[in-house]
């Protein structure tokens, strides 16, 4: 019997970015880089773990916007074009570095990786890597959970309770259609929790969600075991709180593993380093230098002088860090098991894109960690939240504290001078959408298409990514324009529907561009006053 | 392709400058700070201008009055405290240093007349600031998660075999709403 458990959670999310109107979209690269650097390497690691018969558990939250993009044929084909160009670039690099003993093996490493990605993406998974996640779920090693439909920030859109319901129900519907099983867990976007929001999730069949550490430590009544056992909201939905110690070891800028000097440097990229005419076909068509993904240096130190990357040494470091993480969890569990009545649980959630995209060696680290945990010790066992709940230990009843996992722990990242102007529009559009859903309980043809498109535009405007990007200060114009576009399109749809002057061609064109949630039914926005949760029995049957 | 161009898709629409509503919203930033935004229509402002013209409306100052309550407020409760924040004339939003975690707030937007009287125009929604420390309440209540409750609910229906339940169209695993049995569970499970 293990003395305690580790629940590793990877939250995979990217905003919905799809621009058929442009030959090249810089922002679509977020998805392509995510596939090449994070999702495929993770799929590769998890597949190997399963093939090797390793006893491990991993919880993965796949946001509905990411699921929608990974399942979109247009983006799948564009990704293949993107990858073909990368392979071409890596082949050229092998020639260019022919006499360079430091860089030539790296160019070969990239070519191998890109070709492997090409095989996995195009041949093995037939362009749809969601199949891989579905397969993992079926083995029982991986628990898949969902998130808000477009990663809406619940405490702020939740002024209208219908908006949270719509975000949750659209997400659960897509997840269930895609993975064949309703999710038991829910990743509240940005862990942004407001007391009472969980009641909507509970009504939709969700069993548990996560909060930031102080969501639990400041809960009331005070949880006896802090974040080391889940608590139960009065509405009977379980809550898992983030462990600060395991978070810090991976996330910390100064002490975290990803900052090791032998790991690959993120910033030095041949897109910036090489001769302009040589690299031109692989950067922005306007000649703006961008990251290509081929990076030849290690972090080396704090100065700008960088040494060539040496994958073998990085691999040794990765194993060392996996061992260190495991050792610390063993010590943590040994200490906690003397204090905590039920077996202590360490919840370690991370953004999935940290692994691979930012921390190049991250996916290998996860693979090595899970192998070591399975074979080298028996104090801590990996577990999913559902399995922990099935251990049937009684849970303390308590209401979590409003919180988020953003900077300073509350809502300031999503509410400050850079982004506060968005909320008056979001609130008004939501109010209007509820009005539309109540006014048109039944409709057909283009009226129905227009109403569904209005719901889509509103959901896309609700994405918390726009406020996040405005706050972060890079690519701000893109976020501002996306937000304005969706509100403008929504407003015209609202006027057209109310004025009975719908333009069918325009509605079709709009769906051609903003095509998320093809099965969406605008009536998910009906006001709580006017209706009951009609989808509830449907969802519970699944 | 050109038909999908952004401007074409927006069909000439832009972000609305205003919505023609009287509206005052209060939002939570953190345990100490609130944010408020508002829209006041010309019609409403004209009404107040006419009503208070002789009391110096044109020389009045826009102001927000903040009302603070303990978290579990009832309709009859008096606020613990109220305080005023003077605004710039053209402002349509303001960050408010509410100053105290674990309290419920609402605000009123109005004008302070030259004589000092506050004329409220709009009242906001309620917002509760979160705690920024551990709770003082240490009462413990423990409950079984619903997975385990199901076992006991199944036991409560012991007179029906699983096969009989299935024949009746009930999945024996899914007995969630068949009975409410907190007292029943407590008979089986004594928490120490």
Residue A132, pLDDT score: 98
Provide the terminal-to-terminal Cα distance of chain A, rounded to the nearest Å.
34
Q: How many CB pairs under 8 A join A and B?
A: 147
In chain A, which among 412-441 make CB contacts under 8 A with chain B? 412, 415-416, 420-421, 423-425, 427-428
Tell me which chain B residues have a C-beta less than 8 angstroms from the C-beta of A238. 145
3-state secondary structure of A466: helix
Tell me which chain A residues have a C-beta less than 8 angstroms from the C-beta of B11. 489, 492, 503, 506
Looking at per-residue pLDDT, the higher value among A148 and B73 belongs to A148
Is it the case that residue B188 has pLDDT exceeding 60? no
Calculate mean pLDDT across residues B115-124: 96
Interface test with A, best of B70, B130, B188, B189 (most A CBs within 10 A): B130
Residue A528, pLDDT score: 85
Distance from CA of A401 to the nearest CA of B (A): 6
Cβ A408–B93 below 8 Å, yes or no? no
* Minimum-distance CB partner of B135 among A218, A390, A506: A218
CB neighbours (10 Å) of residue A253?
7
Residue B35, pLDDT score: 98
Residue B77, pLDDT score: 78
Cβ B144–A395 below 8 Å, yes or no? yes
pLDDT for B1-18, tens place per residue? 445 677 789 999 999 999
Average pLDDT, chain A: 95
Read off the DSSP letter of residue B79.
Answer: P
Distance from CA of A467 to the nearest CA of B (A): 14
With an 8 Å Cβ cutoff, is A515 touching chain B? no
User: How many residues does the structure list for chain B?
Assistant: 192
Tell me which chain A residues have a C-beta less than 8 angstroms from the C-beta of B41. none
CA of A389: which chain B residue's CA is closest? B145
pLDDT for B12-68, tens place per residue? 999 999 999 999 999 999 999 999 999 999 999 999 999 999 999 999 999 999 999
Is it the case that residue B190 has pLDDT exceeding 50? no
Residue A163, pLDDT score: 98
Is it the case that residue B140 has pLDDT exceeding 80? yes
Cβ B148–A392 below 8 Å, yes or no? yes
Calculate mean pLDDT across residues A34-60: 98
* Minimum-distance CB partner of B134 among A218, A389, A512: A218
Is it the case that residue A139 has pLDDT exceeding 70? yes
Provide the terminal-to-terminal Cα distance of chain B, rounded to the nearest Å.
69
Residue A222, pLDDT score: 95
Is it the case that residue B183 has pLDDT exceeding 50? no
Percent of chain B with pLDDT over 90: 58
At CA A49, angle to CA A46 and CA A50, rounded to 5? 90
Residue B149, pLDDT score: 59
pLDDT for A80-90, tens place per residue? 999 999 999 99
Catalytic residue set of A: 190, 351
pLDDT tier for residue B73 given thresholds of 50, 70 and 90: low
With an 8 Å Cβ cutoff, is A512 touching chain B? yes
Is it the case that residue A396 has pLDDT exceeding 80? yes
Residue A129, pLDDT score: 98
Interface test with B, best of A17, A163, A401 (most B CBs within 10 A): A401
CA of A398: which chain B residue's CA is closest? B141
With an 8 Å Cβ cutoff, is A513 touching chain B? yes
Cβ A207–B146 below 8 Å, yes or no? yes
**How far is it, in rounded angstroms, from Cα A27 to Cα A293?**
15
Residue A251, pLDDT score: 82
Cβ A220–B29 below 8 Å, yes or no? no
Pair B26, B124: CB distance under 8 Å: yes
Cβ A394–B144 below 8 Å, yes or no? yes
B169 φψ region: left (φ > 0), alpha (ψ -120 to 50), beta (else): left
Residue A189, pLDDT score: 98
Cβ A509–B5 below 8 Å, yes or no? no
pLDDT for A307-323, tens place per residue? 999 999 999 999 999 99
Phi, psi of B37, deg, nearest 5: -130, 160
**How far is it, in rounded angstroms, from Cα A121 to Cα A70?**
11
pLDDT tier for residue B84 given thresholds of 50, 70 and 90: very high
With an 8 Å Cβ cutoff, is A155 touching chain B? yes
Shortest CA distance to A147 belongs to which of A190, A108, A84? A190
Shortest CA distance to A6 belongs to which of A349, A441, A520? A349
Interface test with B, best of A211, A345, A392 (most B CBs within 10 A): A392
Residue B78, pLDDT score: 87
Cβ B143–A403 below 8 Å, yes or no? no
Cβ A424–B4 below 8 Å, yes or no? no
Interface test with B, best of A225, A411, A414, A503 (most B CBs within 10 A): A411
Phi, psi of A266, deg, nearest 5: -80, -35
The CB-side HSE value for A125 (13 A sphere, CA atoms) comes to: 24
pLDDT tier for residue B144 given thresholds of 50, 70 and 90: confident
Interface test with A, best of B23, B27, B124 (most A CBs within 10 A): B27
Is it the case that residue A164 has pLDDT exceeding 70? yes
Is it the case that residue B186 has pLDDT exceeding 50? no
Residue A415, pLDDT score: 98
pLDDT tier for residue B173 given thresholds of 50, 70 and 90: low
CA of B38: which chain A residue's CA is closest? A424
Average pLDDT, chain B: 82
Distance from CA of B112 to the nearest CA of A (A): 25
Per-position DSSP letters for A298-365, written without gaps between them = B--SSSS--PBP-HHHHHHHHHHHHHHHHHHHHHHHHHHHTT-SSPPEEEEEEEGGGBTTTBTTHHHH
CA of B171: which chain A residue's CA is closest? A541
**How far is it, in rounded angstroms, from Cα B33 to Cα B98?**
5
CA of A221: which chain B residue's CA is closest? B137
3-state secondary structure of A44: helix
pLDDT tier for residue B132 given thresholds of 50, 70 and 90: very high
Pair A58, A46: CB distance under 8 Å: yes
**How far is it, in rounded angstroms, from Cα A531 to Cα A441?**
11
Is it the case that residue B180 has pLDDT exceeding 50? no
Residue A252, pLDDT score: 79
Cβ B130–A402 below 8 Å, yes or no? yes
User: How many residues does the structure list for chain A?
Assistant: 542
pLDDT for A422-459, tens place per residue? 999 999 999 999 999 999 998 999 999 999 999 999 99
Pair A436, A497: CB distance under 8 Å: yes
The CB-side HSE value for B80 (13 A sphere, CA atoms) comes to: 14
Cβ B135–A219 below 8 Å, yes or no? yes
Strand partners, B94: B36
Percent of chain A with pLDDT over 90: 94
Beta pairing, strands A4-12 & A345-351: parallel
CA of A537: which chain B residue's CA is closest? B177
CB neighbours (10 Å) of residue A228?
24
Residue B75, pLDDT score: 63
**How far is it, in rounded angstroms, from Cα A224 to Cα A48?**
39
**ipTM value for the complex:** 0.93
* Minimum-distance CB partner of A411 among B28, B132, B140: B28
**How far is it, in rounded angstroms, from Cα A462 to Cα A468?**
12
Residue B2, pLDDT score: 47
Considering only CA atoms, give the Rg of chain B. Answer: 28
CA of B21: which chain A residue's CA is closest? A428
Rounded to the nearest 10 degrees, what angle do helices A464-472 and A422-439 cross at? 170
């Amino acid at each position: 019997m293990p003395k305690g458990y580790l629940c590793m959670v990877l939250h995979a999310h990217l905003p919905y970015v799809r621009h058929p109107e442009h030959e090249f979209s810089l922002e679509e690269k977020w998805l392509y880089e995510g596939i090449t650097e994070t999702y495929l390497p993770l799929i590769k690691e998890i597949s190997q773990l399963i093939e090797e018969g390793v006893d491990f558990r991993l919880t993965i939250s796949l946001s509905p916007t990411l699921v929608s993009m990974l399942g979109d044929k247009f983006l799948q084909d564009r990704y293949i074009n993107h990858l073909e160009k990368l392979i071409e670039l890596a082949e050229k690099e092998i020639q260019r570095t022919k006499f360079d003993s430091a860089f030539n093996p790296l160019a070969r490493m990239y070519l191998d990786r890109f070709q492997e990605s090409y095989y996995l993406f195009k041949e093995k998974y037939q362009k749809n890597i969601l199949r891989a996640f579905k397969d993992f779920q079926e083995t029982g090693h991986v628990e898949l959970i969902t998130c808000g439909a477009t990663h809406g920030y619940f405490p702020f859109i939740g002024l209208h309770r219908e908006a949270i319901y719509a975000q949750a129900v659209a997400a659960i519907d897509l997840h269930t259609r895609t993975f064949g099983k309703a999710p038991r867990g829910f990743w509240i976007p940005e862990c942004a929790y407001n007391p009472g929001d969980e009641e909507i999730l509970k009504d939709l069949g969700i069993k548990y969600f996560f909060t930031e550490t102080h969501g639990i430590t400041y809960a009331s009544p005070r949880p006896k075991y802090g974040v080391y056992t889940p608590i139960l909201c009065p509405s009977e939905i379980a809550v898992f709180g983030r462990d600060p110690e395991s978070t810090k070891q991976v996330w910390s800028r100064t002490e975290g593993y990803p900052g090791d000097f032998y790991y690959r440097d993120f910033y030095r990229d041949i897109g910036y380093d090489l001769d302009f005419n040589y690299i031109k076909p692989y950067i922005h068509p306007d000649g703006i230098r961008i990251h290509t993904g081929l990076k030849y240096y290690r972090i080396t130190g704090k100065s700008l002088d960088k040494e060539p990357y040496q994958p073998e040494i990085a691999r040794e470091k990765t194993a060392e860090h996996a061992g260190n993480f495991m050792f610390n969890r063993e010590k943590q569990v040994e200490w906690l098991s003397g204090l905590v009545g039920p077996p202590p649980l360490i919840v370690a959630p991370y953004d999935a894109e940290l692994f691979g995209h930012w921390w190049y060696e991250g996916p290998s680290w996860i693979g090595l960690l899970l192998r070591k945990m399975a074979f080298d010790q028996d104090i801590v066992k990996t577990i999913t939240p559902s399995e922990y709940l099935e251990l049937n230990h009684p849970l303390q009843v308590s209401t979590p504290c409003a919180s988020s996992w953003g900077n300073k722990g509350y809502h300031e990242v999503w509410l400050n001078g850079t982004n506060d102007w968005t909320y008056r529009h979001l609130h008004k559009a939501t109010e209007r959408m509820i009005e539309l859903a109540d006014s048109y309980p039944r409709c057909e043809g283009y009226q129905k298409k227009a109403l569904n498109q209005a719901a889509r535009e509103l959901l896309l405007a609700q994405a918390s990514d726009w406020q996040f990007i405005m706050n972060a200060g890079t690519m701000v114009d893109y976020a501002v324009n996306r937000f304005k576009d969706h509100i403008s399109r929504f407003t015209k749809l609202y006027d057209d529907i109310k004025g009975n002057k719908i333009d069918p061609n325009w509605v079709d064109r709009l769906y051609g561009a903003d095509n998320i949630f093809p099965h969406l039914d605008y009536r998910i926005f009906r006001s709580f006053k006017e209706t009951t949760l009609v989808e509830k029995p449907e969802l519970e049957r699944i | 392709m050109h038909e999908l161009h952004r401007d074409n898709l927006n069909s000439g629409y832009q972000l609305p400058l205003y919505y023609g509503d009287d509206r005052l919203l209060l939002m939570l930033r953190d345990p100490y700070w609130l944010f408020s935004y508002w829209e006041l229509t010309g019609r409403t402002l004209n009404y107040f201008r006419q009503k208070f013209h002789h009391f110096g409306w044109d020389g009045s100052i826009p102001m927000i009055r903040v009302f603070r309550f303990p978290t579990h407020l009832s309709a009859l409760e008096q606020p613990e405290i109220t305080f005023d924040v003077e605004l710039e004339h053209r402002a349509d939003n303001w960050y408010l240093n509410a100053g105290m975690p674990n309290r419920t707030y609402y605000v009123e937007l109005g004008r302070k007349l030259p004589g000092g009287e506050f004329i409220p125009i709009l009242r906001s929604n309620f917002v509760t600031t979160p705690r920024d420390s551990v709770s003082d309440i240490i009462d413990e209540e423990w409950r079984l998660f619903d997975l385990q409750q199901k076992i006991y609910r199944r036991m409560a229906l012991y007179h029906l075999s699983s096969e009989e339940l299935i024949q009746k169209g009930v999945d024996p695993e899914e007995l969630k709403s068949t009975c409410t049995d907190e007292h029943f569970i407590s008979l089986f499970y004594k928490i120490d």
